[in-house]
Amino acid sequence: MTGARQQPGKGRYDLTQGPIARTLLLFALPTLGSNVLQSLNGSVNAVWIGRLIGESALAASANANLIMFLMFSFGFGFGMAATILVGQSMGRGDITGARRAFGTGVGLFTVVSILIGAFGWITAPQLLHLLGTPPSATPYALAYLRVIFLAMPPMFLGVLISTALRGIGNSMTPFFFMILNVVLDAGLNPFFIRGFGPVPAMGIAGSAFTTLIANYVVLIGVTIYIYVRKLPIALHGAELRFVIPDLRLLKVIAAKGFPMGLQMLVMTFSGIFMMGLVNRQGVNVTAAYGVAQQLWTYLQMPAMAVGTAVSAMVAQNIGASRWDRVSQITRSGLAANFLLTGAVVILLMLFDVPAFSLFLGSHSPAIPIARHIHLIATWSFILFGITLVLFATIRANGVVVAPLLILTFGVLIARIGFAWSLLSTFGPDILWWSFPAGSMFTALLAGLYYRFGNWRRATMITEVVAEEARESTLADSEPGGRINPAG
- Reply yes or no on whether the pLDDT at 166 is more than 80: yes
Side chain identity at residue 306, one-letter code: V
pTM of the model as a whole: 0.72
Q: Which one, of 137, 342, 372, 99, lies nearest residue 241 by Cα? A: 99
- CA separation for the pair 272, 63 (Å, rounded): 8
Per-residue pLDDT of 110-145, as tens digits, reads: 988 898 888 888 887 887 777 677 777 777 778 888
- Structural contact between residues 158 and 106, judged by C-beta atoms closer than 8 angstroms: no
Average pLDDT over residues 205-232: 90
DSSP-assigned letter for residue 460: P
pLDDT of residue 51: 67
DSSP secondary structure of 181-240: HHHHHHHHHHHHHH-BTTB---THHHHHHHHHHHHHHHHHHHHHHHHHTT-TT---GGGG
Residues in the chain: 487
Q: Which one, of 432, 485, 482, lies nearest residue 238 by Cα? A: 482
- CA separation for the pair 162, 166 (Å, rounded): 6
Distances (CA, A) of 380 to 36, 269, 337: 19, 20, 13
How many Cβ atoms sit within 10 Å of the Cβ of residue 191? 16
- CA separation for the pair 41, 69 (Å, rounded): 16
Q: Which one, of 10, 6, 13, lies nearest residue 313 by Cα? A: 13
pLDDT of residue 391: 92
Which pLDDT band holds residue 214 (cuts at 50, 70, 90)? very high
- Structural contact between residues 201 and 138, judged by C-beta atoms closer than 8 angstroms: no
Which pLDDT band holds residue 352 (cuts at 50, 70, 90)? confident
Average pLDDT over residues 233-256: 85
pLDDT of residue 477: 37
User: Which residues, in sequence order, are bridge partners of residue 246?
Assistant: none
- Reply yes or no on whether the pLDDT at 486 is more than 50: no
Average pLDDT over residues 43-69: 71
- CA separation for the pair 344, 298 (Å, rounded): 8
How many Cβ atoms sit within 10 Å of the Cβ of residue 41? 22
pLDDT of residue 479: 33
Average pLDDT over residues 66-71: 70
Question: Which residues, other chains included, contact 167 with Cβ-Cβ below 8 Å and sequence gap of 6+?
Answer: 83, 84, 86, 87, 90, 98, 312, 315
- CA separation for the pair 420, 304 (Å, rounded): 28
Average pLDDT over residues 182-196: 84
pLDDT of residue 55: 66
- Structural contact between residues 87 and 459, judged by C-beta atoms closer than 8 angstroms: no
- Reply yes or no on whether the pLDDT at 105 is more than 70: yes
Average pLDDT over residues 363-378: 83
HSE (side-chain half, CA atoms, 13 Å) at 87: 37
Strands (E), 282-391: none
Higher pLDDT, 465 or 222: 222
- Structural contact between residues 274 and 419, judged by C-beta atoms closer than 8 angstroms: yes
Higher pLDDT, 50 or 446: 446
pLDDT of residue 73: 66
Side chain identity at residue 417, one-letter code: G
Question: Which residues, other chains included, contact 62 with Cβ-Cβ below 8 Å and sequence gap of 6+?
Answer: 275, 286, 287, 289, 290, 293
Which strand (E) or helix (H) includes residue 263? Answer: helix 247-279
Side chain identity at residue 366, one-letter code: A
Q: Which one, of 75, 213, 208, 63, lies nearest residue 125 by Cα? A: 63
pLDDT of residue 75: 67
User: Which residues, in sequence order, are bridge partners of residue 94?
Assistant: 5
Portion of the chain with pLDDT greater than 90, in percent = 14
Higher pLDDT, 460 or 46: 46
Number of H helices, E strands in the chain: 18, 0
pLDDT of residue 5: 39
Least confident among 52-56, 92-96, 335-339, 412-416: 52-56
- Reply yes or no on whether the pLDDT at 466 is more than 80: no
Average pLDDT over residues 271-276: 80
pLDDT of residue 135: 76
Report the mean per-residue pLDDT for the chain. 80
Q: Which one, of 74, 106, 103, lies nearest residue 89 by Cα? A: 103
Per-residue pLDDT of 290-337, as tens digits, reads: 888 877 877 888 888 898 889 888 888 888 888 889 999 999 999 999
